[in-house]
Chains A and B, each alone.
Chain A
Amino acid sequence: MATMDRPIHVVGGGIAGLVAAITAAEAGAPVVLHEASGRLGGRAVGSAERPWVNLGPHVVFTDGALARWLRQRRIDIPMRGPLVRGLRLLDDRGTAFPIRHGLRLLPSIVRHDAPVDDTFRAWTEETFGGSTAELMCRLGGLITYHHDPGSLSARFMWERYRRSILSSDRVRWIAGGWLTLVDTLTERARTLGVRIELDDRLTRQALPDAPTVVATKLAAASRLLDRDLRWPGARTALLDVATAPDRGWPSVVADVRSDLATCCMIERETAPDPGALREEHAELIQAQLGVAADVSVAEGVARIEDGLDNGFPGWRESVQWRRAQILVDGVGAVDPPGTTWRDRPAVDQGDDVYLAGDAVASPGLLSEVSVNSGVHAARLALDARRRRAFAPGWPSVELTPERRLAVLAAVLPNASVETSTHVDRDVEPVDETGLGYRLEHRAGLTRATAVTASDADVRVMTLVASGLPKPARRLLERLPGRLRPWRR
């Protein structure tokens, strides 16, 4: 089949582009990865002279899409856990181990359904009361890099709050910086036969007539595709400092003093990862502070330095080098009240063009959005490629998640199907596509879920099938996942 040689094109070699390229190549498709700059990695690599020094604090969550995607492929990335004893909170009373604050946050460990339409500030005040709400909103800065996390959608912030602040044991640092991840993914892509074209900036005219994944920042995608692709992001001041070694310093200082609506996070990267600076014998301190549009680099950095003075005494005297900058829309999408991730620029842009990246319509936190959308875009591009291979121009229909479920319901023994409709558009996604289709199987019990979103509502169809008699089936359904894991 001559048409089967036609490659899938991926534009942009950041995490989303690499994930998309690898996912497509794993399915056997030829892939061409176009990167405008001279090296892969996008915002996951630091400066030219020290690419291993991340662009600001970077973490991975062990329960998230990136860690899962790596696990599924048995890609081993060395990661370091948090150093809880080195954690400090800086508030108006000074720097301390966060016992007092932990107690204040205690009510927030209860599960709640946070509304999409309210601001996080309004909802937390109503649910947890003034001082707890205030602290929760400020701490939101740790995970959003935004100057006013309390002004964002309560649903958006609550998910992030629960997965980061309340589950800080799941936070990991990549040893050697995110460059380690980029290098490993590049190696994997090359092994799979992905053709990597560096210094290859595509223009609208040069866009190939082939299934294409555009994995650039939204602004670049807008120009390339000549359409308006926008979503609110954060503006963040970053300060990196290398100093003489001092082991007495804390590992993380969260500066939540009341002059800020957010939190200034200061991490000593060399605490979890002593190799963060490679050959250099020094401490690496990285700090981020979400700042409003009218705040200059100098103002932002001055405020960060004030936090450093409180948490890292004597740092000014031993600075070996420093780097200060403001990052705009550099840490993914933030969802304002009334919106969810489903409302962001869609992965499927029509005409066999698909968007991937950290600001598109995919679930997850920070880089997880890139991974989920990269996988989703690659799958759609693969489908498009199969369609084209059969015959371009001929009519075609897709197997929607609901149709797929109906097929299985007609075939599997003792299948029962339930459908529920949710007016609230943010039903929990069941797979990385966010469209939602998942089939699970364990010990004779099959469970499939299809989530379909329309403008008005979200429909969830669930199928349960088993050849076993009813009592045994009930028992199996209740078995904890750890005893008999679901196969997917």
Chain B
Amino acid sequence: MRAAQRGDPLAMDALLTELAPWVGRICSSIALDKGDDAMQETLISVLKNLPTLREPAALRGWVRRIAVRQALRAVTGDRSVPVADVPEAATVPDFETSVDVRETLKKLSPQRRAVLVLRYLEDLSEQEVAEMMGTPEGTVKSGLFRARETFRDQWREA
């Protein structure tokens, strides 16, 4: 981590190996077909700005924020998506479902997908999601409710 911050190419490469599966999951869950572009932009941004990260322990929260922003940017073309600071989540949930997650995600707006990813994939609290997305907590709650409804409908169809 420190070596990667100093610009050691081998350490940077190792960091890519470590981050790629996780970043790829966040990016493609939000940006869907543009997930690979979003992942590439995220990883570039992470490596470029790595020296500015003072606390290595904050890495995951910081990378997550960049990934969500890049994913939303890739799919909406919006360059001003507000994504604020959030603390690192300690656990990752077991969000297993028999429905086709990808098909259901397609039916949601990118912002709602991001909310869903942060809440269920990244296990942030509703308050943390609201802070990160820069929206009121109520909006996050209603968004999650709709998203769950969509999943339920999809499951019934299947």
Contacts and interface: CB of A to CB of B under 8 A. Distances in A.
Interface string B82-101: 00000000011111110001
Interface in B1-20: 8-10, 12-13, 16, 20
A389 B47 CA distance: 24
A3 B9 CA distance: 31
A3 B94 CA distance: 7
B107 interface: no
A403 B40 contact: yes
Interface stretch (A341-349, A361-369, A407-415): A407-415
Interface residues of A, number: 33
A396 B94 contact: no
Contacts of B110: none
A387 interface: yes
Interface string A388-418: 0111111111111001101110111000000
Nearest to A398: B24
Nearest to B100: A393
A394 B32 contact: no
B9 A393 contact: no
B121 A407 contact: no
A397 B27 contact: yes
A396 B101 contact: no
B24 A411 contact: no
Contact of A407 (B16, B95, B120): B16
Interface in B24-68: 24-25, 27-29, 32, 35-36, 39-40, 43-44, 47-48
Contacts of B25: 387, 390-391, 394-396
Interface in B76-130: 91-97, 101-102, 105, 120-121
B71 to A, nearest CB: 11
Given A390-B22, A390-B25, A394-B29, A407 B97 contact: no
B48 A387 contact: no
A393 B101 contact: yes
Contacts of B39: 397, 399, 403
Q: Is the interface of B mostly helix, strand, loop or mixed?
A: helix
Contacts of A400: 36
A395 B10 contact: no
Contacts of B21: 383, 386-387, 390, 396
Given A390-B121, A395-B28, A396-B25, A408 B92 contact: no
A3 B92 contact: yes
Interface in B126-141: none
Contact of A397 (B24, B92, B101, B120): B24
A390 B92 contact: yes
Interface of A: 1-3, 383, 386-387, 389-400, 403-404, 406-408, 410-412, 439, 441, 446, 448, 465, 487-488
**7 smallest beta-carbon distances between A and B, as pairs:** A399-B20, A386-B21, A411-B47, A397-B24, A446-B9, A395-B28, A397-B35
Given A390-B22, A400-B36, A448-B9, 13 more contacts: A3-B94, A386-B22, A395-B32, A395-B35, A398-B20, A403-B39, A404-B13, A407-B16, A407-B40, A408-B9, A410-B48, A412-B9, A439-B13
